[in-house]
Structures are given as C-alpha cells and as structure tokens.
Amino acid sequence: MPRRPRLRVVVTRSARREIRVETAWWRERGYRAERIATALRAAYLVLSVTPDIGRPTTAEGVRVLALPTIGYRLYFRVDVSEGVVIIRAFWPMSRGEEPDLH
C-alpha cells in the first residue's frame, strides 16, 4: 500500500500567541517549559501523517488532539486538498470548555 504524503502543519497567529503565553506561564513558575515544545513537535509529526486522529469538536471541521503529558489540547482543521493541517488553538485541559472556534 502506498504511503500518504505528509501534510504540512501550519500554526495560526492566535495559536502561536496561546503557545507563547502558556510557555511563559510555565517558565515563570519554574516548570520545564521545554516540555511544551517537545510535546508539540511530537504532535505535529503525528498530525502530519495521521491527520484524522483526535475527535470531532462542536465547531464544524475542527478536531481536537489531547496532549495529556502537558495537560493541553490542540484544536486543528485539515485541508487535504491543500495538503495542510491548520492548528487553530492550544488550550489547557483545565479550562474544561472548548475555545471559540466558530
């Protein structure tokens, strides 16, 4: 069976901002903030080859992937025709509710 080509992973401006804010929060409290970068690299790799992972959300076409080792979720949309996975949000599991993705 032929392998599917990897999709590009693109992070939106708002998701990049959320990642920066959460990373700074970790650093300020003395946590190992590099764990966020490590978890994100692994998640991006998984999403690039298995974009149908995760579960659907209430926002049409948006899926969520849990990152339990750091306590966050990645919300993303897949555009197969463009060959891209778009990261829409980086959200703490502790918040409970989903971010506004509509």
DSSP 15-32: HHHHHHHHHHHHHHTT--
Asked, for residue 100, whether it belongs to a domain, the answer is: no
Residue 27 has a CB neighbour count (10 Å cut-off) of 13
Asked, for residue 3, whether it belongs to a domain, the answer is: no
Which CATH number do you get for residue 58? Answer: 3.30.2310.20
Beta-bridge mates of residue 77 = 62, 86
Domain that holds residue 63: 8-94
| Residue 58: strand, helix, or coil | coil
Identify the band that residue 1 occupies on the pLDDT scale cut at 50, 70 and 90: low
Asked, for residue 61, whether it belongs to a domain, the answer is: yes
Identify the band that residue 5 occupies on the pLDDT scale cut at 50, 70 and 90: confident
Identify the band that residue 3 occupies on the pLDDT scale cut at 50, 70 and 90: confident
Asked, for residue 63, whether it belongs to a domain, the answer is: yes
Asked, for residue 41, whether it belongs to a domain, the answer is: yes
Residue 59 has a CB neighbour count (10 Å cut-off) of 17
Question: For the chain, what is the domain count?
Answer: 1
Q: What is the pLDDT of residues 33-46, one digit of tens each?
A: 999 999 999 999 99
Identify the band that residue 2 occupies on the pLDDT scale cut at 50, 70 and 90: low
Q: What is the pLDDT of residues 48-102, one digit of tens each?
A: 999 999 999 999 999 999 999 999 999 999 999 999 999 999 999 998 788 988 7
